[in-house]
Each structure stands twice: as structure tokens, then as C-alpha cells.
Amino acid sequence: MTIAEMRRELQAGRVTAVELTRACLERVEATDEQLNAFITVCAEEALVAAAEADRRIAGGETAPLLGIPLAVKDIFNVTDLPTTCGSKILANYVSPYTATAVARLTAQGAVIVGKLNMDEFAMGSSNENSAAGPVKNPWDLERIPGGSSGGSAAAVAARQVVAALGTDTGGSIRQPASHCGVVGLKPTYGRVSRYGVIAYASSLDQVGPLAGSVEDCALLLGAIAGYDSADSTSVDCPVPDYLATLKNGVAGKKIGLPREYFIEGLDPDVKRAVAEAIEVYRGLGAEIVEVSLPHTDYSVACYYLIATAEASSNLARYDGVRFGARKDSGQGLIGMYQETRAAGFGAEVKRRIMLGTYALSSGYYDAYYLKAQKVRTLVRQDFLNAFAQVDLLLTPVAPTPAFKIGEKVNDPLQMYLSDIFTIPVNLAGTCALSLPCGVSSEGLPIGLQLIGQPFAEADILQAAYAFEEATDWGGRVPELG
């Protein structure tokens, strides 16, 4: 069932929130040994919340998410639950407060059933950088689900939960959504509060939903979006009713194809699926034009300076004093810091802290960090120029379908290139979503990216809905043994 269907059944009294939550917990129990999508399952708390939701439904309340079981990436703080962020350094950390995005879901009566696996501190594209072990792609257990919100995407794909929250700094919602065959939306920077979300790269991080359908994504975005005085970067502009415009179609819309995204080296199955999607849009009455985003080539390099610089600063707080694990064999304070950080962080996180510290160090700051900031402005300008000509942009999400576990772990550069089509959107700060648009010759899901103007999430949701209705690619669920 989708959220919309669950809601109908709940309101009609044909099912209870406790029954839905039990079914969800049973599904997790039956499949998570294979998938490893969950880091924490909070069955007891969930059943209490579900019983409360049933009371509210009986009392006549109708909030859209009342009684709907959901899960969140383990980067969101939730009061009294562990938040590991996929890291050993936070292994014993229990949150004293709840992230705004999660609080907005539970205020409506949504039931949180657990916390989902992820790359450590959201650094990765394959979920292989998790202290809790890799997540398996439900379509092929030998393959990665994508990252860093790999647990969120796998859990939704396998219908352990109907929808989940993730975060996206350089593609971490869209790329796993694409590899797992679900819908994932990265809102405009500032659209959703980051309060209570563990920071990776603060100028890029954004919270968003992953779900089995476009409508459910729209519904969740409506629930979590909006100004929050606790996040100084959240933007105070009205949240439209995303469901109201969902069915308006794409007739007369101008869709741009950025020439730089249709490159050699694109997997032939991805190329074919995206080409077919373009024809679907043409058939629905959209006008397709070619556009150019000339600074695309610099995006990955620019991102790995800015993101690592911000990460090196954000992660300085994990020092064994205030948060999580400590290792101290009596070598003094500096020794304790060193031992704690050496033991607590994984290899990729250490690599990024070193890169970022280097980029910010005196003598190199201007050459690397400052220059990257200037390039970022050029990348953003590219998008704004394109949006002067078209309503939205259409591109692939990832250059290939999901790769094998282990295939790229020893080649960080290859791994970084998996986000070549998603990273520019974060640099520009605008919104984009990933939706299923085909399968590879090996039966792996392929995703389509729709990029919208800043704060025009309604436009890309509307275009995505039209595609989902016109094709059979949405809502497919893998068979698990």
C-alpha cells in the first residue's frame, strides 16, 4: 500500500495503526537479515505511538500521516534513540532531542519504527562505509543500494516501510533511490530544516523523502518543509500544497536536456532508458530543448573541496569529550583526542578530514577553498541561466546502474564519479528528484533526474507524476527470498 492507501484504510477503520506497524515490523524481521537496512528497530516505542495514533483516529483526527509507520536515516536525532550516523565514534550516543523534520512527522501522528543504515557521516555512494556493515540492494543482494542513504532506499524498495527520510549532500537521496527503484526528492537548500540532523557539509546538506510513489513523496515533503527558527538557513517562504498541483501534467512545459550530461561513457542501458523517458515526455506534450551547463566538468572537484572543508570543521566536535566513544590509555588530553579519533572514524571519513583540513590550511586556502567557492557560483549561475530558458531539466541520475559490492571500494576517485550528475544540483542549491524510468539488461532499476528551479519542487513533482502515470516503471517491488 502507498501512504495514501494506508490513510484511506485507517480512516475507514478497515485497519489499525497497530496492525500496520506490526506488519511493518514483521517485514523488517523477515528481510533485514538479508538487507541490513536498519541500524535500530524501536518496536516497543513504535507500538506505543501506533496505539496513540489509533486513539486519535477514533477521536476523529485526520492528519495525512496519522498512524503511518515510517523510518528515518540514522543521521536524524530522535529523543531517547541511539544516533550512530553509521560511525563507531557515536556507537554509544543516545539523542537528547528530536530533529525538526522528524518532529513534524510525529506531530501528525506518524509512527517511527527505526533508524536506517547509511555511509558513515553520510560520506559515500555505496553504503559500504558504514560501521554497521554494507546494505544490500534488494534487486540483487550482491550489489550496492547506493549511498549514503542506502538503508532508506533499500528499506523502501523492499517495502519494509512505505517511505523514509534521507539526506542529500551530493546525491545521497537521489542516487540510492535510482539504484533501488524508488522515488527520492532533494528539496531546495533551505526548504527543510536541518536542525537535529548531524552535519556533514552544512552548505550542501538537505533533508528529503524517499517513497514508493511520487504522490507519497509530495505528501511527505509537505509535512516536513517550511521555516524553522532553529535552523538559520531554513527559508521563510510559504509551502505550497504539493498534492493540489500534482495532476496538472506537463503539456506546454519546456524541458531542457543539458548537453554535458549526455556524455560518452554513459552506460548504454541508462542512455536507452533516459532516451525513452524523453520520448514519453514529448508524447505528453512537453517541448524538449537542448541547453548547456558549461561548468559541469568542474563540479566534482569543486564539491570535494567544499564538502571536505566543511566536514573537517563539523567533525572536529567528535573528540571523545562531549559525544560518543572515548579511547584513553593515559597519554594526556591530546593523546586521548588522537586515540579516540583514530579508533572511532573509518578510513573514508579520515581521508575527507585530511583533505578538508589541507584545503583550509593557510597558504592553500585561497588556491583551493576560495577558488572552489568561486567555481560554485559559476555552477549555480549555469543553472539559473538554463532556467531562464526552460521550466525544468531532465538528466540521468547515475552514469551506471548499481555496481557490485566491493567493485569500487579501493578506488575513491571512481566512487566519487558516481555522483557526477547529482553533485551540481547541491552546489547550485536547487531541487531535484529521482524516479524509476527503466531497468537494465540485468534487471536493475534505472532512475531519471528532474531538476527544478529553486523552490519549484511542485513543478518537478508534477512532471514526475505525469511520467509515473504514463508508464509502468513506478511501484515495482523486488522479490526477496
Q: Tell me if residue 313 is catalytic.
A: no
Q: Which of residues 66 and 180 has its CB atom nearest to ligand GLN in the complex?
A: 180
* Position 37 contacts ligand GLN (CB under 6 A): no
Q: Which helix (H) or strand (E) holds 426?
A: helix 423-428
Instruction: Exactly one of 125, 148, 152, 178 is catalytic; name it.
Output: 148
How many whole angstroms separate alpha carbon 224 and alpha carbon 241? 12
SS3 329: coil
Q: Which of residues 318 and 465 has its CB atom nearest to ligand GLN in the complex?
A: 318
SS3 404: strand
How many whole angstroms separate alpha carbon 157 and alpha carbon 94? 28
Size of the site for ligand GLN (CB under 6 A): 13
Q: Which of residues 87 and 169 has its CB atom nearest to ligand GLN in the complex?
A: 169
Among 123, 199, 217, 220, binds ligand GLN (CB under 6 A): 123
Residues 415-434 that bind ligand GLN (CB under 6 A): 419
Taking only Cα atoms into account, the Rg of the chain, rounded to an integer number of angstroms, comes to 21
Residue type, 406: G
* Position 134 contacts ligand GLN (CB under 6 A): no
Among 40, 77, 117, 125, binds ligand GLN (CB under 6 A): 125
Q: Which of residues 102 and 349 has its CB atom nearest to ligand GLN in the complex?
A: 349
* Position 177 contacts ligand GLN (CB under 6 A): no
Instruction: Exactly one of 95, 172, 193, 312 is catalytic; name it.
Output: 172
Cβ of residue 307: shortest distance to ligand GLN, in angstroms? 5
Partnered with residue 290 across adjacent β-strands are 257
Residue type, 346: G
The stretch among 44-52, 168-176, 286-294, 382-390 that binds ligand GLN (CB under 6 A) is 168-176
Q: Are 151 and 81 in contact (CB under 8 A)?
A: no
Residue type, 55: R
And the C-alpha cell for 175?
542516487
Among 145, 171, 438, 447, binds ligand GLN (CB under 6 A): 171
Residues 136-165 that bind ligand GLN (CB under 6 A): 148
Cβ of residue 208: shortest distance to ligand GLN, in angstroms? 11
* Interstrand relation of 111-116 and 38-41 (parallel, antiparallel or unpaired): antiparallel
The stretch among 100-108, 169-177, 323-331, 436-444 that binds ligand GLN (CB under 6 A) is 169-177
Q: Tell me if residue 148 is catalytic.
A: yes
Q: Which of residues 125 and 395 has its CB atom nearest to ligand GLN in the complex?
A: 125
* Position 310 contacts ligand GLN (CB under 6 A): no
Q: What is the 3-state secondary structure (H, E, C) of 151-197?
A: HHHHHHHCCCCCEEEEEECCCCCHHHHHHHCCEEEECCCCCECCCCE
Cβ of residue 78: shortest distance to ligand GLN, in angstroms? 19
* Position 77 contacts ligand GLN (CB under 6 A): no
* Position 87 contacts ligand GLN (CB under 6 A): no
Partnered with residue 115 across adjacent β-strands are 40, 72
Q: Which of residues 334 and 413 has its CB atom nearest to ligand GLN in the complex?
A: 413
Q: Which of residues 170 and 181 has its CB atom nearest to ligand GLN in the complex?
A: 170
Residues 182-221 that bind ligand GLN (CB under 6 A): 200
Among 307, 375, 433, 460, binds ligand GLN (CB under 6 A): 307
* Position 117 contacts ligand GLN (CB under 6 A): no
Q: Are 26 and 472 in contact (CB under 8 A)?
A: no
Work out the number of other CB atoms within 10 angstroms of the CB of residue 189.
Answer: 23
How many whole angstroms separate alpha carbon 338 and alpha carbon 358? 18
The stretch among 10-18, 90-98, 121-129, 397-405 that binds ligand GLN (CB under 6 A) is 121-129
Partnered with residue 50 across adjacent β-strands are none
* Position 122 contacts ligand GLN (CB under 6 A): yes
Which residue is listed with cell 514529448? 282
Work out the number of other CB atoms within 10 angstroms of the CB of residue 61.
Answer: 14
* Position 120 contacts ligand GLN (CB under 6 A): no
Cα–Cα nearest to 153, from 143, 165, 141, 168: 165
How many whole angstroms separate alpha carbon 438 and alpha carbon 156? 18
Q: What is the DSSP letter of 82?
A: B
Angstrom CA distances, 87 to 75, 307, 323, stand at: 10, 18, 12
Cβ of residue 80: shortest distance to ligand GLN, in angstroms? 26
By annotation, the residues acting in catalysis are 73, 148, 172
Judged by the rule CB under 6 A, the positions of this chain that interact with ligand GLN are 122-125, 148, 168-172, 200, 307, 419
